[in-house]
Structure 1
Amino acid sequence: MKTDAVLRDNAEYLRAINEAIEKQDAKSEAIVFYSKDTALLGTVEWVSGFIKDNTTLTGSARYFNRKVTFSNDGSAGLTYCADESKGYTKDRKTKKINVTPATENSYVFYNDRLRKNTKGIWQVTKSFSERGSKACQP
């Protein structure tokens, strides 16, 4: 199904971001594979921030309420929430974990646009996020 393919490729995009942060590689092959256009630029910028700060991620994030819609132009829209209340940054040099308390800002709403490329991969082309969104609060 098309919906399953969109969800699968988006999950791989999220894994690619985490891997790029861990490997300190803002222009990793996986990021380029699963994103393009403004989403690629934004992802490179996001990962570069971790590299500049010499930090990585630890803990976990949970994604939920994933909803896919399809447009007449062949693109797909995907909205979902992230619970980052158990996700933290970690200093790569000192190994110190920046444990922060869960707040409304621990929940993020995402609204992504995806388009299938010639290889059949649904690439994220645009991504909008809203930290603290009421739509994602427990």
Structure 2
Amino acid sequence: MNRRPTLLASSALTVAAVLSISACGGSDGGGAKGGEKIAGAGSGSEQRESPSPTPPDDGIKRPEIKLPKGVRNVFEGGGTGDAKKDAILADNERRIASIDEAITVDAEKHPALAFYSSGDALLSAANHIQGFYKRGKTFVGATRHYDREVTFLKSGAAAVTYCEDTSKTYPKDRKTGKVDRSIPESAQDYAFYNTRLEKNKDGIWQTTSVLTTTAAKRCRP
């Protein structure tokens, strides 16, 4: 049994379903578009804390992201020293947080979801989130993101690759609030993500596609 399903590319949902999830409460990634390879290739309201990363002073009005108590993302590596790369990594972090918020927080709207994802990435995010709601599950714990790299593509887009460790997260029943901590660590807790981001007209680096390798050897300790 997986403690937390890995985010996989999927186009199972319609655009209407995506809009419903992003606008009305509780889903990521697809294939690379344009033929260009990506480099590296419930019930009740939750108490919320952990605001989204502090946005750079770029004048962009961003939706606030707050995760429930006990849900946390750890992004290793810090700044790169390159302002453009750091802006891309920051929007990648916000996108990950927006998906976790849509899974773990019961709210009327989750505007950050469609703010940081578009295209195939938004479709698969919606599918991922919907899977939790269908099973009546959410999760708690800390997710680690590491070995993060930014590569600029010829088209003006960028690729962000990173590893994800969910071994310290645990499934939680939406109805009872019971957390299952009995699941042992396994290879399935480690995944490698290869994402494409494009800067939109508002200056946001939106993720447009995601390729995922589950049980990734390169990400295991």
Q: TM-score range by the shorter chain?
A: over 0.9
Match of 1:111 among 194, 211, 216: 194
Offset of residue 23 of structure 1: 2.4
- Residue 133 of structure 1 aligns with an amino acid whose one-letter code is A
Aligned to 2:61: none
Percent identity between the aligned chains?
44
TM-score using structure 1 length:
0.95
- Residue 152 of structure 2 aligns with an amino acid whose one-letter code is F
Q: Hey, what's the Cα distance between the residues in 1 that align with 2:139 and 2:210?
A: 20
Instruction: State the SS of the aligned residue for 1:73.
Output: coil
Offset of residue 98 of structure 1: 2.4
Equivalent pair of 1:24/1:47 in contact (CA under 8 Å): no
Q: Hey, what's the Cα distance between the residues in 1 that align with 2:218 and 2:201?
A: 34
| Aligned Cα root-mean-square deviation (Å) | 1.5
What does residue range 48-87 of structure 1 map to in structure 2 within 5 Å? 48-87=130-169
Q: Detail structure 1 runs of 4+ shifted over 6 Å in the superposition.
A: none
TM-score using structure 2 length:
0.60
- Residue 131 of structure 1 aligns with an amino acid whose one-letter code is T
Q: Hey, what's the Cα distance between the residues in 2 that align with 1:89 and 1:17?
A: 16
Q: Which structure has the greater CA radius of gyration?
A: 2
Q: Hey, what's the Cα distance between the residues in 1 that align with 2:189 and 2:128?
A: 17
Match of 1:20 among 80, 102, 111: 102
Q: Hey, what's the Cα distance between the residues in 2 that align with 1:113 and 1:14?
A: 14
Q: Hey, what's the Cα distance between the residues in 2 that align with 1:53 and 1:28?
A: 20
Offset of residue 51 of structure 1: 1.1
- Residue 191 of structure 2 aligns with an amino acid whose one-letter code is V
Aligned to 1:30: 112
Structure 1 residues 24 and 47, CA gap change in structure 2 (3 angstroms) = farther
Q: How many residues align?
A: 138
Aligned to 1:41: 123
What does residue range 81-96 of structure 1 map to in structure 2 within 5 Å? 81-96=163-178
Query: Hey, which of these two has a bigger chunk of helix by percent?
Result: 1
Q: Hey, what's the Cα distance between the residues in 2 that align with 1:24 and 1:77?
A: 31
Instruction: State the SS of the aligned residue for 2:172.
Output: strand
Q: Hey, what's the Cα distance between the residues in 2 that align with 1:131 and 1:89?
A: 18
Q: Hey, what's the Cα distance between the residues in 2 that align with 1:82 and 1:103?
A: 13
- Residue 153 of structure 2 aligns with an amino acid whose one-letter code is S
- Note the residue ranges of structure 2 that are not aligned, 5 or more in a row: 1-82
